[in-house]
Amino acid sequence: PNQPNTATQPGQFGNPNQPNTATQPGQFGNPNQPNTAATANQPTETTSNQPAIDTSVPVPIVAELTNFVNALSEVCSPAEKRQISMIMQCLDVLNKKLAYNEVSADVVTKIEQLVGFLLQRNYPAANAIQTDLANTVWTQHKEWIKGIKVIIQLASKK
């Protein structure tokens, strides 16, 4: 952990001029942030020891998901629209985790593929990726994976 990150380790990347604080393959290291594996059960609220990152502006992949959900909400029934607020909370969690590099590169790749399938209306393929995420990284990311599942369920009805 005290060796410089050369960005050549599988599943990791970062600034080679900063120490690598990632503790497991597939995790990103950020020297200004506590080890996310040790703090997984704690709230993800910004604390004084975290750098000030503006999470009010969505990460591009979250912006695409948000646009998709906004378009979806226009054709939803009142009962379905109640689920939209839960989905938006899940997307907010995803945005914060992405902004603080708490999502591994392979998971980001899967999210990008999933969004691509949603935009193509290929809901079975999107669902397959969501199921894979639920089976592999549920413990770390259940807060937003459940929202993705609801997006796919609502979209496949329309």
Residue 46 has pLDDT above 50, yes or no: no
The pLDDT score that the predictor gives to residue 88 is: 96
Highest mean pLDDT among 48-52, 82-86, 127-131: 127-131
Quick one: CA dihedral 122, 88, 58, 36, positive or negative? negative
Mean pLDDT value across the chain: 77
DSSP secondary structure of 56-86: TS--HHHHHHHHHHHHHHTT--HHHHHHHHH
Q: Tell me, what's the pLDDT at 93?
A: 96
Could you tell me the two tokens for 116? 């691509």
Output the pLDDT for position 58: 72
Give pLDDT tens digits for 91-108: 999 999 999 999 999 999
